[in-house]
């Protein structure tokens, strides 16, 4: 669950509504149909996550939703996920914020740090404007210097 959040930047409501038949393992993508804006979109995931998802689905013989409550067999709710993350944070004595929304921010920052562009990030995150996307970016001074050097050191004069 957390690995997929990190790879996709999906909102919690979008995550809990992923259906197995919306996952394309050939293209390593998910057709997200339940979105905040009611506009479908496609998100991608890494090969590592692809392998984890294949094993997860096969192990638990999932048929409808990717994530569900193993005790009740019902689809997860936002409150059940938030409760689980709270208990996990407490049990592991994690001081940092690890909410699903924080993972969304981390996805956005990582995407840019690794060379992604703002417009692609905007589309992946399901935002209608770049201004909204920019609120998710938390670049350090080192990130800014590194980007500057990679662009300007390659400039031809």
User: How far is Cα 55 from Cα 49, in angstroms, rounded to an integer?
Assistant: 10
136 included as an active-site residue: yes
Q: Which of 136, 141, 146, 149 does the annotation list as catalytic?
A: 136
Question: Given 36, 74, 102, 149, which residue is catalytic?
Answer: 36
Active site residue 65: no
E strands in 27-156: 29-32, 41-44
* 146 flagged as catalytic: no
Strands (E), the chain: 23-24, 29-32, 41-44
Set 60, 101, 138, 149: catalytic member: 101
How far apart CA 21 and CA 39 sit, in angstroms, is 18
For this structure, is 101 an active site residue?
yes
Question: Catalytic residue numbers?
Answer: 11, 36, 101, 104, 127, 136
């Amino acid at each position: 669950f957390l690995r997929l959040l990190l790879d996709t930047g999906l909102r919690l409501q979008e995550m809990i509504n992923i259906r197995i038949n919306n996952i394309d393992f050939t293209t390593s993508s998910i057709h997200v149909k339940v979105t905040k804006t009611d506009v479908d979109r496609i998100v991608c995931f890494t090969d590592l996550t692809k392998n984890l998802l294949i094993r997860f689905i096969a192990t638990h013989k999932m048929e409808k939703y990717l994530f569900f409550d193993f005790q009740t067999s019902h689809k997860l709710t936002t409150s059940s996920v938030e409760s689980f993350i709270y208990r996990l944070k407490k049990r592991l004595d994690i001081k940092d914020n690890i909410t699903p929304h924080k993972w969304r921010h981390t996805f956005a920052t990582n995407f840019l740090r690794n060379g992604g562009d703002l417009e692609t990030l905007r589309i992946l995150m399901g935002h209608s404007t770049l201004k909204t996307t920019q609120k998710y970016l938390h670049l350090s001074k080192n990130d800014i210097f590194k980007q500057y050097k990679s662009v300007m050191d390659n400039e031809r004069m």
